[in-house]
Amino acid sequence: MSRLLLLSLALTACGPALVSEPDASLDAGESIDAGASPDAGDLDAGATDAGDLDAGGPDAGPADAGVLVVDRSNPQLYRFQFTAASADADAGRAMGNEVAALDTRVPSTGLLVVYLHGAGAPATCGSTAHGDFLAARGFHVIGPCYVSDYGVGNCGADIGGCRLEAFDGVDRTSVIDIKPPDSIEVRVVRMLQRLQALNSKGDWQFFIVDGKPRWDRIIISGISHGASTAGVIAKVRPVARAVMLSGPLDTNQAWLSQASLTPPDRQWGFTHSVDPQHPGHLSAFGVLQLPGAPQRIEAGARPWNGSHRLFTSIDAGNGDSSHSSTQAGGSSPRAPDGGYLFGGAWNELYGVP
């Protein structure tokens, strides 16, 4: 336990500098929010610089899809919130606030994390606290809103078909009807295009190639329902990495054992032993053939014998609290200085040196 605590203290980032700036091009009701969601973490309302919210300037860098160019001349943490409708007029469902983050105080990893929220229809999609944690480690981060309120129990033996339709908008099942503008894959592209317009110095367009997400430079990740959907996406797209928190579940579903375009050695899972779904998560890790045996993080140290099947028993409350504790935010346990006890595990999951 003391080892984990020391690692967490060493790797937890300092509080962010933030910018919140109205954009003259915004539609009525749209906003760029510097962390209004409940799990946003520590906020610094004193940041005043708005110089990065432009549609392109002489210091924006070349628009070369082959080289990521992030302007770090004015280093700070940038957060964005807007609805899918402001990025795509054809969007019609899952209309909460989509979120994004980029921290130019640190060098870029050249990778984008697409982080998928859990089941339901949240007002704010994803976790701004988890986004801050990842942005502080050099990732571009987006949290698209997507249709996840259909109830997987209604999908019978083809939960994978429901999740795939939610991903790409291709009709596969009569249980749901999700059109491309409301699908995850299209939403990722529309978010990146919107962010490029708002924040060209972040070079968000780097993660689009031929009108599609540049999946080989994307880490697909999510919690709960989003973790299972991230696992499905890793089956059909060759992502840089898949990180599944409090999931997958989908016990005995066919998609778990299907061939995968993303090999198992680029996939990781993290679950809490008090979570009622924990046995199902461990079972899914096995069917997905994630490397290694399950490792309790507080009983060892990074890299936990090279296992991609991590779990914890650190007190995070019961039921829903333990389930949500695997992402940064209100339910995740902290060290005395406020740093996350799971910080070292997240660094391992996302490939942070």
Quote the CA–CA distance of 221 and 118 in Å, as a whole number: 11
Q: What is the pLDDT of residues 153-173, one digit of tens each?
A: 999 999 999 999 999 999 999
CATH assignment, 2-350 = 3.40.50
Q: What's residue 8's pLDDT?
A: 35
Q: What's residue 66's pLDDT?
A: 77
Q: What's residue 50's pLDDT?
A: 27
Q: What's residue 25's pLDDT?
A: 26
Contact (CB, 8 A) for 198 and 80? yes
Residue owning tokens 């906003």: 31
Alpha carbon 222 to its chain centroid, in Å, reads 5
Indicate if the alpha-carbon torsion angle 145, 209, 230, 315 is positive or negative: negative
* Residue 318 pLDDT > 90: no
Helix (H) or strand (E) holding 185: helix 184-198
> Measured at the alpha carbon of residue 207, what is the angle toward residues 91 and 129, in degrees to the nearest 5?
75
Count CB-CB contacts under 10 A for residue 67: 10
Q: What's residue 71's pLDDT?
A: 97
Least Cα distance to 250 among 235, 234, 228, 267 occurs for: 228
Q: Could you state, in order of their start, the residue ranges of all structural domains in the chain?
A: 2-350
Kindly report which listed range (78-87, 114-123, 281-290, 315-324) carries the lowest average pLDDT score: 315-324
Burial class from Cβ neighbours inside 10 Å (0-12, 13-18, 19+) for residue 29 reads exposed
Q: How confident is the model at residue 217 (pLDDT cuts 50, 70, 90)?
A: very high
Kindly report which listed range (29-38, 137-146, 173-182, 295-304) carries the lowest average pLDDT score: 29-38
Q: What's residue 19's pLDDT?
A: 31
If you average pLDDT over residues 85-91, what whole number do you get? 96
Sequence-distant (6+) residues with CB within 8 A of 276 are 319, 323
Quote the CA–CA distance of 62 and 64 in Å, as a whole number: 5
Q: What is the pLDDT of residues 201-212, one digit of tens each?
A: 999 999 999 999
179 token code pair? 């059109």
What percentage of the chain has pLDDT greater than the value 70?
Answer: 82
Q: What is the pLDDT of residues 48-87, one digit of tens each?
A: 222 233 333 322 333 345 799 999 999 999 999 999 999 9
Q: What's residue 65's pLDDT?
A: 52
Q: What's residue 336's pLDDT?
A: 93
Q: What is the pLDDT of residues 224-269, one digit of tens each?
A: 999 999 999 999 999 999 999 999 999 999 999 999 999 999 999 9
Q: What's residue 16's pLDDT?
A: 39
196 token code pair? 């490029």
Reduced DSSP (H G I as helix, E B as strand, rest coil) percent helix, strand, coil of the chain, to 5? 30, 15, 55
Taking phi first (over 0 means left), then psi (-120 to 50 degrees means alpha), and beta for anything else, what does residue 217 get? alpha
Q: How confident is the model at residue 319 (pLDDT cuts 50, 70, 90)?
A: confident
* Residue 17 pLDDT > 80: no
